[in-house]
Chain A
Amino acid sequence: MFAHIFMNRLRCLLRDKETIFWTFAFPLALSLFFYLALSNIGKGETFQEIDIAVVNDSRYQEDLYFKTALEEASKGEDRLFDLTLATEEEAGKLLENGSIKGYIKAGDQIELVVKESGMYQSIIKSFLDNYSQTFKAVETVLRNDPKKYQEVMESLKDRKNYVKEVPTAGGKPDIVVNYFYTLIAMACMYGSFFGMRETSDIQADISPLAARINIAPVHKLKAFLSSICASMLIHLVVMLALLGFIRYVLNIDFGPRTGYVLLTMVIGSITGVFFGAFVSALVKKSEGIKVAVLIGVSMLGSFLAGMMYIDIKYLISMNVPFLSWINPVNLLTDAFYSLYYLDDLSRYALNIGVLSGFATLFCVLTYLILRRRKYAGL
């Protein structure tokens, strides 16, 4: 009997184009839009060599130390600047049309000319400050002991880097991946549309189909379990396809722990389906209202998990952590995030633990609402 109901339900659900669209095609399209819109977003903060010009006059040519310092900073792979030599007029034009961030005028007091304040302009200023300050330091030392000239000049060449990068275990702090994690979490919660259908189709006072199923000589729980298994199977396949698309076609990194990623997806999918079943059992209104509740909760959850504005997730977790822990979309997003970015699994385990708790709760509550319901008249 299980196989009979399961197979027929499977066929029935696969014909429901609307649900398939919202659970599969829509998240897939959204992931593609995310990819096209966000793939460039990280480049905004990446350091690029700064285009600058220096006024190539006699003062610059005569100031050998400054000339060398500037040329050194504009050489090699890790250079700060891309330097252009120009007359003041040319430099002014370059600045005006945005080809350079600023130009430098050598002299007793080095001058930087810019169009606006900004990060790159500040870096140029820092470099020039550094040069003037080194000169001042030399002056101070020589004033103290003029005989040290040779020694001082020698030591100037010996500049060190004092900051060392500490390698972090886990992934890069790439903010874009989080958008895709929220999207997968949202798609998991869209499994609720399947859950909603299952409960609607088993409550005789909701749909004629349910009334027909109720008079069949099958135990209600058996009928419900067989058909919800079909729903879960379809949603799992749909989610697997979405995950595969995001991972292998869009090349979004999920970290090295594939097994755990799949486990998260499975638990997310089960939570989604049972969430829908629970809401549908609880809200005794039209399908439109049920759908509105499901979409409303999923979208609010996605918003709080950072799908529309990434900072929200961090703000909530810092200021109202309780809200993070009761939001299934955030729990799923955070589980994916932990697998990608953090090296230890304790936070992941906590997320999955709470999420499994939610899934169990939805399942038990749905059962309690649906069981032993009899209808005096329909």
Chain B
Amino acid sequence: MPVYNLCMRIIRKNIPSLLIYLFVFVGVSIIVSSSSANPQKAVNEFTRKKADIAFISKDDSPLIEGLRNEIGKIANFIDIPDNKGDLQDALFFRRVVYILRVPEGFAQKFIAGEEVFLEKTFVPGSASSAYIDLSVDKYLNTAKFYLEHMDNISQEGLVAYLNDTLSEEATVTVLPARTKTNLSNLAYTYNYMAYSLSSILILGMSAIMMALNDKDLKNRMSCSPISGTKSNLQFFLACLTFSGAAWLVQIIACFILDLENVMTLNTVFFIISSLVFTFCGTALGYLIGSIVKGTEAIPAITNVVVLGSCFLSGVFVPAELLGKSTLKIASFTPAYWFVKANNQIAQLSQFDLSSLKPVFSDIAVIFCFASAFFALSLLIRKTKRYN
């Protein structure tokens, strides 16, 4: 099988550059799977969300200690050195979302009834800022209330009253959640395949096509005793081997990194969607290989096409954080439907027809893209041949 062997030799020659994408994929998958170390807790218990804040106090009175304890119920205190540069850095990179500064002599002035303020620096408009403000104001307003109405109250006595009062809490009932699967981390890994798999497939396919498009090689092949049908068959077999291997290696990497979920039905659907996507990636590689003329242009086109579709479709940035118009543009790329299908598969807990319908329709769209790419490339090749 000379054509098949030739294709395989071309792929072998390109393996180092293809491996880069595989390493990126494995690296990202390892990071994602290690970050999912905290599994879903029992959801029937309410836990308060804690914001990361920096608490800088120049006043070590009991009142401020009490305030610190009260804020501690809803915040994690992060130690940041008290200098402007470090604090600004911490806020910018969200090590903390709020910096609260208690000025010197605050408690004394507060008890004396003077108008005093705590100073905050925060990420403007953030929800956690509203949350911390609510807690600080609650503490100090209650303190003020006691100071106004309890005669001769000492600072320690005031803090004791505050502790007692602020221990009162509203009851929270968390509705028992329906058994819902959430494999969002696994979905992220499969989504990431849209980047690595497409890059590998397009680069590999275009490399084969570039070699086969060579005029001299074409002439040599047409005068060889192998019929056109046979050589085409060998070419398709080579494509199948290459794309199958690229897909299999990544699927195995996914399995190894997430052994827990290998035996679930969700994985079966992840496999189906990635397989159809592989078909689509191969078709896209075939199309690009049919259009592009120079070998130098291939990495350029691959990067723009793959990075572009991955950025817009929610492969790198979760789709729920993308704007509506961005997603609308993304819907013209197969990666969008692949990500959509995977995100739905990750949520599947029932596998009846109605739950599976949206998944199948997304996979069908990917298949349509693949068919369109193939049809287009055949058309282009035909036109080129006549020219």
Q: Which residues of A contact B (CB under 8 A)?
A: 17-18, 21-22, 25-26, 29-30, 33-34, 36-41, 43-48, 80, 92, 95-96, 109-123, 125-137, 140-141, 144-145, 148, 151-152, 155-156, 159-166, 168, 170, 172-173, 175, 178, 310-311, 313-314, 317, 337, 341-342, 347
Contact = CB atoms under 8 A, between A and B. Distances in A.
Interface residues of B, number: 81
Nearest to B176: A115
B2 interface: no
Contact of A37 (B74, B140, B169, B322): B322
Contacts of B101: 166
Contacts of B303: 26
A159 B177 contact: no
B150 A36 contact: no
Interface string B159-175: 00100111011111111
Contacts of B131: 119, 122-123, 126
Given A126-B134, A164-B119, A46 B127 contact: yes
Contacts of A128: 170
B323 A173 contact: no
A314 B121 contact: no
Interface stretch (B84-92, B220-228, B230-238): B84-92
A155 B149 contact: yes
A139 to B, nearest CB: 9
B381 interface: no
A155 B148 contact: yes
Contacts of A127: 134
Nearest to B129: A47
Interface of B: 43, 45-49, 51, 74, 85, 88-95, 97, 100-101, 116-138, 140-142, 144-146, 148-150, 161, 164-166, 168-175, 177, 296-297, 300, 303-304, 307-308, 311-312, 316-317, 321-323, 326, 329
Contacts of A122: 48-49, 74, 131
Contacts of B164: 136, 140
Given A18-B296, A39-B323, A173-B91, A163 B170 contact: no
B122 A165 contact: yes
Contacts of B174: 113-117
B134 A123 contact: yes
A132 B149 contact: no
A311 B45 CA distance: 31
Given A45-B126, A114-B46, A152 B170 contact: no
B175 A113 contact: yes
A116 B48 CA distance: 10
Contacts of A170: 88
Given A29-B304, A116-B174, A125-B170, A136 B165 contact: yes
15 contacts: A33-B307, A39-B323, A40-B326, A109-B171, A110-B170, A114-B46, A123-B127, A132-B170, A137-B142, A137-B161, A160-B137, A162-B137, A162-B140, A163-B117, A311-B93
B40 to A, nearest CB: 11
A22 B300 contact: yes
A314 B95 contact: yes
A232 B90 CA distance: 36
Contacts of B129: 47
A329 to B, nearest CB: 16
B166 A133 contact: yes
Nearest to A167: B121
A123 B142 CA distance: 18
Nearest to A33: B311
